[in-house]
Structure 1
């Protein structure tokens, strides 16, 4: 551990917890295998922190600032050892509220030998349960270790917490959690026994110190990456039935490229209703006194920590304000809506509305991290969603293509099937079945499952989707309403309800439902896609462009977002930006040619010939010529668009440049001959007789007159 010369808010005992309260344990009861991902999730280059010289962490004058002195009684937590009437504050004494003895004087000094083994070198910090000392383990290769003492040697709660920490955490094996070596007692100069936890020395810098070195908030991608990396440690503790309780920037240390949870003194068992509960004002969950420590209360502290790292939270009476500020007051939240939504869910006052587990929060933050990194123009690989399939198709595939609700629903990703559902095997064999046939097959499967007393939520939801795909929103809504009680709070209900509303023409209701899905899953692109399409249908162009832009710069497999963004930018007069969006469609995509043709249309669009300049015509012609269009009719149609615009430009009185447009001289006669040939090609491929006649007549009309 590195020294913390200016520690943050002191860990304080939380108010009295209600005994006998049920504690949530997150998803699953098994102990996850310890694992650690690369810091930065593989998409952010994180600054490395050197381990440094352990001796440099020793404090020369160890003292606890008055503002951080509190009673060690978990049921009290009152301020103690404060100056009054210009008298110096006593570092030792008794709490005026409950009478508990306190002492903020280090019990160990350099040269003390604890347990006949640990050679004390000095103090390096003051934690929630007392002074933290650096020592050398003379019995094990003179390795550096940390001794964590207690605030009050006579405090039974503190002693019990320390002992419980040492023995319960001795089995913890996770690369992101500090290793506990031993728990020993050492008598102080009064003869009283004092407990010390012996743990590994983690050289490096705390997240609090890293933030302080920035003289302000961290870059949002760094703040999010830190939380994503450390989340697995908390998930591991939760699976073991433990709650960390006091998560904050002070208690996470970076050494080289690794993060570690330190100061495990506040860790408690979820099934211990009588345990002392510790927390830090400004970080601890508001319901802690009522529910005791839970997974939800830990998630709250993680959300608060992320907020502290990413922004300057307002303060009230010397501590961080409880609420997350509005985006219009914090630039980083205004720039990254998904980050704001993630913070809101993690710190929701209602524990039931927070993320259900640290794994879920980390997964959503990973999606947020992709968006934040992509916002700076850095390419990021597509992220595999744990909740949605990839986008299934394309809607609005053109410059002026209408956004049709049925096409939107057919193109949107679908929720991933729970492999543990009784109907998962049946659904796996019907993936390519048409909706009409699928309904019959699934109704039979559903009836059989009900007779076997195994209700399948996934089959029921697939029937809802089949009704939507058949254009029967009323049937889908009826089925969904019967299913809703079994899926109370499940985001899939508003996901499908929003699609029903979209088909019914209730765009406002659809938008509200899709927004509810995004509130639950702020790191996902699928609900943003649904919101973008609905906003475009509503005519809310600002919202449409915001979501289309976020999606397209983050994941180039969402081709509908490219066309949507191009339409919105072109509408605002940003033709260059619209074309740039379409230019990002990968050459290997099946929609590359379609996107290139739309870009040509955007370049040539204008109310008058003056809207399209000479260079624009040349650029459009070059783009059209380079497209690998296989259909002769499609090539002729695009060539016709370019040559017609060029002829219109010439007839407006402009001078012809010495250039070729798609192999045609830039003269009126040659352009007319080129247009004539396009019409005749289109006429040959026309299936309708009257359309063919019309095209031939157009060809004859545009053909330049010649003399025999």
Structure 2
């Protein structure tokens, strides 16, 4: 039913109130709703002069923050469970002595300090600027009991910020004997400030239609005469969010001895904030003044508040507001932008996650050196996320909130997996899976087995590829290509029906596979000239460099991609391979480890990690990694073969009989085909025989009844086993010369017997 109030276009909801003006419907207009079985006492507000309002009655602590279904359940994108922050009783949130601290008092016109104390005497809260004569006032205009617009009953001041006082009020049109609808009124610190007045009008015009679960809801815009001048002052009416700001949470943790918030928690908060920021950007609005103070965590919801600095993207007239230390450096010259909003999020992440002393002075436009911050040394991906989001050049930052959110979630997965060793894979929007596993030579068995060490040329054809942009004009043409011959593909791609970036990149790949590396480089130069910030150019430069056996050049290229996409395991994998090929195995080890912890689908990372661990003498660590390759993987047997070899050789000969026996048991469980079983049997028995000969242990010092692949653990038993394995290999060998050689080896190793 439509509202009967003259001039109101709203309708009555099932609860009996107008969704526009908030007035109660006339009796009988809306079907009565069943009342709770138990009655509640009416809400009462203490009005003793000088006292803090006391709120009583059922539902008084819930406020309007629950009115929009905002208890969403599960912050942190489902990756982490954040501590619940209980809703705050509105009465306890009201300030007892509302004043603006002297350190924050500045003239609205000349920005000189005003209202400061001298000689031990407090400064004046109201007066005139001694520099330019502009009047100032830092006292709230509204007092307890004031009734605004015949609807909102003021309880007191909640806080103050750069654009205005914030008051708690009760909406008389909606509150009843069961529950209250608490709202927040935001006015101005200084009503003589024309810019602040204009910002308030802007806030009303742009924000009343915004409806996002992580953005505070604007209900209304009202006016009330200034008690001193009688001039009407505008107040924005918004929902009350009764939790704690991220800054409050940080201060509380510091009071408990914890200097910063855990990194995973900080990233989870940002994962909630960025979609809200993206929602504003999608409506051509800029937030402008993001900081930890402007995010409230209440129960299981997170909300952006204090929207006074919000402006349209194309607004070149309104005053620009920001906070030193958070505001992007270019805003003063070119104004706010999406990239500038991204900058504020990155700076807030830094402030919350490590002790960022001097962030608004010494480091106002930069991050501290990585070596100075242990967290950034430990979490390289997070450091790269901060570097890109706060880059001094706006063009080098993330260009959208969704882009930053995607990479931030990747970093969060990495941080969580590094802490609890639980993989958290996700399908990448940027990369395909790895085309094939590289560096698996330690698990290959056969006459054509690949080398056990890593070769750059073998990596080039195995790394993941950038996903094709389906919106690219050439995407349809690329989907029709079916030839697997690189030369034929080059011919087709050189004369395509449509030219586009994706077609050019596919031509680059075809030329690399055909061995035409100079031709591939020429096409990449053309793509880079059209878009200098396309990370795919660096990716293909890296692949081309690996194909040319120039891992040093590939390392530079892949490092650039990692800087652009810090949350992508594929970028870390490629850089790790290039590092290993250049001999920097310690750096490669760290990246392989992080990739493998996050996603067990990157088999190359497991082999790289185990290979470097084994080379360093950490046999146990190498075996543990290889055992983590899942049974469902097509490389499970390859990993187990590599584990057998790792048990036999760890930078030297066998060290103990137990290693030999464990390797034997592992090989027996594999159930390999005859040829691979015979080859590995020869490897194992040769290693065992060499160990027996070198140690020359007496029988009583060997494990009683020990057998290796069914053969007695003695020189005689091992020689008989080797003889049998050589003869088996001779039987299946196709080359006559090979057969003869294997029979000769069998005869040579056979122990002397009477027959």
User: Is the TM-score greater than 0.5?
Assistant: yes
1:389-468 correspondence runs (5 A): 389-399=432-442, 401-430=452-481, 433-444=484-495, 446=496, 448-449=497-498, 455-468=499-512
Task: Report the CA distance between 1:211 and its aligned residue.
Answer: 1.4
Task: Report the CA distance between 1:645 and its aligned residue.
Answer: 2.3
Per the alignment, residue 94 of structure 2 pairs with 58
Q: Does 1:565 align with 2:609?
A: yes
662-671 vs 208-217, greater mean Cα deviation: 662-671
For residues 177 and 657 of structure 1, do their structure 2 counterparts lie closer, same or farther at Cα, with a shift above 3 Å needed?
same
CA distance in 1, matches of 2:328, 2:132: 24
Contact 2:423–2:600 (CA<8 Å) still a contact in 1? no
Per the alignment, residue 644 of structure 1 pairs with 686
Task: Report the CA distance between 1:608 and its aligned residue.
Answer: 5.6
CA distance in 2, matches of 1:65, 1:691: 91
Q: Does 1:118 align with 2:152?
A: yes
Task: Report the CA distance between 1:137 and its aligned residue.
Answer: 0.3
| TM-score of the aligned structures, taking structure 2 as reference length | 0.85
Q: Does 1:311 align with 2:321?
A: no
Task: Report the CA distance between 1:460 and its aligned residue.
Answer: 1.0
For residues 311 and 181 of structure 1, do their structure 2 counterparts lie closer, same or farther at Cα, with a shift above 3 Å needed?
same
CA distance in 2, matches of 1:69, 1:689: 96
1:154-193 correspondence runs (5 A): 154-190=192-228, 191-193=230-232
CA distance in 1, matches of 2:395, 2:524: 23
Task: Report the CA distance between 1:261 and its aligned residue.
Answer: 0.2
Task: Report the CA distance between 1:319 and its aligned residue.
Answer: 7.7
Q: Does 1:105 align with 2:147?
A: no
Among 544, 556, 567, the residue aligned to 1:512: 556
SS of structure 2 residue aligned to 1:210: helix
Task: Report the CA distance between 1:244 and its aligned residue.
Answer: 0.5
Task: Report the CA distance between 1:413 and its aligned residue.
Answer: 0.8
CA distance in 2, matches of 1:650, 1:697: 22
Per the alignment, residue 248 of structure 2 pairs with 209
Contact 1:253–1:262 (CA<8 Å) still a contact in 2? yes
Q: Does 1:696 align with 2:743?
A: yes
CA distance in 2, matches of 1:288, 1:420: 33
1:33-48 correspondence runs (5 A): 38-48=74-84
CA distance in 2, matches of 1:281, 1:616: 62
Contact 2:573–2:595 (CA<8 Å) still a contact in 1? yes
SS of structure 2 residue aligned to 1:466: helix
CA distance in 2, matches of 1:501, 1:681: 44
Structure 2: runs of 5 or more not aligned: 1-69, 443-450
CA distance in 1, matches of 2:313, 2:650: 67
Per the alignment, residue 105 of structure 2 pairs with 69
Contact 1:511–1:535 (CA<8 Å) still a contact in 2? yes
CA distance in 1, matches of 2:522, 2:454: 26
CA distance in 2, matches of 1:297, 1:150: 26
Per the alignment, residue 16 of structure 2 pairs with none
Per the alignment, residue 570 of structure 2 pairs with 526
Contact 2:140–2:189 (CA<8 Å) still a contact in 1? no
CA distance in 2, matches of 1:348, 1:608: 48
Q: Does 1:278 align with 2:321?
A: yes
Structure 1: runs of 5 or more not aligned: 1-33, 450-454
Higher relative contact order (CA 8 A, sep 6+): 1
565-574 vs 391-400, greater mean Cα deviation: 391-400
| TM-score of the aligned structures, taking structure 1 as reference length | 0.90
CA distance in 2, matches of 1:316, 1:413: 39
For residues 554 and 223 of structure 1, do their structure 2 counterparts lie closer, same or farther at Cα, with a shift above 3 Å needed?
same
Task: Report the CA distance between 1:316 and its aligned residue.
Answer: 6.7
Contact 1:78–1:97 (CA<8 Å) still a contact in 2? yes
Task: Report the CA distance between 1:410 and its aligned residue.
Answer: 1.2
SS of structure 1 residue aligned to 2:170: strand
For residues 558 and 115 of structure 1, do their structure 2 counterparts lie closer, same or farther at Cα, with a shift above 3 Å needed?
same
For residues 441 and 612 of structure 1, do their structure 2 counterparts lie closer, same or farther at Cα, with a shift above 3 Å needed?
same
Q: Does 1:145 align with 2:189?
A: no
Contact 1:514–1:527 (CA<8 Å) still a contact in 2? yes
SS of structure 2 residue aligned to 1:411: coil
Number of positions where the alignment pairs a residue of Structure 1 with one of Structure 2: 664
Q: Does 1:255 align with 2:298?
A: yes
1:227-238 correspondence runs (5 A): 227-238=270-281
SS of structure 2 residue aligned to 1:171: coil
CA distance in 1, matches of 2:410, 2:649: 37
Greater Rg by CA:
2
Among 378, 384, 387, the residue aligned to 2:430: 387
Per the alignment, residue 122 of structure 2 pairs with 88
134-143 vs 100-109, greater mean Cα deviation: 100-109
Deviations 1:258-306 (A, max 9, x none): 1110011111111110111111111111111111111111111111000
CA distance in 2, matches of 1:606, 1:576: 10
CA distance in 2, matches of 1:628, 1:186: 85
CA distance in 1, matches of 2:72, 2:311: 23
Q: Does 1:477 align with 2:521?
A: yes
CA distance in 2, matches of 1:488, 1:201: 46
CA distance in 1, matches of 2:502, 2:362: 47
Q: Does 1:358 align with 2:394?
A: no
For residues 97 and 549 of structure 1, do their structure 2 counterparts lie closer, same or farther at Cα, with a shift above 3 Å needed?
farther
CA distance in 1, matches of 2:691, 2:219: 82
CA distance in 2, matches of 1:547, 1:348: 23
For residues 259 and 434 of structure 1, do their structure 2 counterparts lie closer, same or farther at Cα, with a shift above 3 Å needed?
farther
For residues 408 and 97 of structure 1, do their structure 2 counterparts lie closer, same or farther at Cα, with a shift above 3 Å needed?
farther
CA distance in 1, matches of 2:421, 2:112: 49
Contact 1:391–1:412 (CA<8 Å) still a contact in 2? yes
Q: Does 1:677 align with 2:724?
A: yes
CA distance in 2, matches of 1:321, 1:163: 31
Q: Does 1:656 align with 2:702?
A: yes
SS of structure 2 residue aligned to 1:214: helix
For residues 37 and 58 of structure 1, do their structure 2 counterparts lie closer, same or farther at Cα, with a shift above 3 Å needed?
closer
CA distance in 2, matches of 1:237, 1:99: 39
* C-alpha RMSD over aligned residues: 2.0
For residues 608 and 258 of structure 1, do their structure 2 counterparts lie closer, same or farther at Cα, with a shift above 3 Å needed?
closer
Per the alignment, residue 13 of structure 1 pairs with none
CA distance in 2, matches of 1:302, 1:249: 9
Deviations 1:422-470 (A, max 9, x none): 11012123367332332223233x2x22xxxxx3110111010011122
